[in-house]
Amino acid sequence: MQSQLMKKTTVLCLLFVAAAMGVMLHFCANKIVVVADVAQDEVVQAAERNGGRSENGGSAVTGTEDANRISIECDSKSTNYFCIPIPTDVRVEQVTIENHYMDRELWVSIAPEEMSDKGSFYENNSVYGNCEKVLDGHFQVEKKRICLQFKLTDVYEYYSIFEDNTLYIEFVPPKEVYDKIVVIDPAYGMDETGIASDTVTAKEITLNIARALKEKLDETDIKVYYTRMDDSNPEDNDRVGLAAATKADMLIRIEVGSAESSKQYGTEAVYNSRFFIPGFGSVELADLLEREVVTAISGKANGLLEAGTSDTVINEATVPVAAIKVGYLTNGQEAILLQREDYIQRIAEGIYQAIVKAYEAD
C-alpha torsion angle, residues 132, 138, 142, 145 (rounded to 10): 20
Looking at 3.30.420, 3.40.50, 3.40.1130, 2.60.40, the CATH number of the domain 33-171 comes to 2.60.40
**CA 165 from chain center: how many Å?**
28
The answer on pLDDT for 332 being more than 50 is yes
pTM of the entire predicted model: 0.86
90 CB-contact burial (10 Å; exposed 0-12 / middle 13-18 / buried 19+): buried
Percent of the chain at pLDDT > 70 equals 84
* Per-domain boundaries in the chain: 33-171, 181-361
CATH superfamily entry for domain 181-361: Zn-dependent exopeptidases (3.40.630.40)
Instruction: Provide the 8-state DSSP code for 46.
Output: H
Pairwise CA distance, residues 304 & 290, whole Å: 8
Query: Is the model more confident about 67 or about 270?
Result: 270
Element (H, E) at 291: helix 282-297
Q: Helix, strand or coil for residue 215? A: helix
If we measure between CA atoms, which residue out of 49, 105, 58 comes closest to residue 229? Answer: 49
Beta carbons within 8 Å of 221's beta carbon, 6+ residues apart: 179, 180
Q: Mean pLDDT across the chain, nearest whole number?
A: 88
93-121: string of b/e by CB count within 10 Å (b at 16+)? ebbbbbbbbbbbbbbbbbbbeebeebeeb
Nearest-angstrom CA–CA distance, 158 and 69: 23
Q: How far apart are CA 309 and CA 339, in angstroms?
A: 30
Given pLDDT bands bounded at 50, 70 and 90, which one contains residue 22? Answer: very low
Confidence of residue 21 (pLDDT cuts 50, 70, 90): very low
Pairing of strands 82-85, 127-129: antiparallel
> What residues contact 186, with CB distance under 8 A and at least 6 apart?
203, 206, 207, 209, 210, 226, 227, 228, 229, 253, 254
Sign of the four-CA dihedral 202, 204, 208, 211: positive
Q: How confident is the model at residue 4 (pLDDT cuts 50, 70, 90)?
A: low
Average pLDDT of span 160-181: 96
Name the β-bridge partners of 321: 251
Q: Exposed e or buried b for every residue in 61-86, given b needs 16+ CB within 10 A?
A: ebebeebeebebeeeeeeeebbbbbb
Q: Put residue 150 in one of left, alpha, beta given phi > 0 → left and psi -120 to 50 → alpha.
A: beta
Q: 109 pairs with which residues across the strands?
A: 96, 147
The predicted-structure confidence for 268-277, as pLDDT tens digits, reads as follows 999 999 888 8
From CA 297, how far away is CA 329, in angstroms rounded?
A: 16
pLDDT at 146 over 80: yes
What gap in Å lies between CA 209 and CA 345, rounded to an integer?
7
- Residue 202 and residue 196 in contact, taking contact as beta carbons nearer than 8 Å: yes
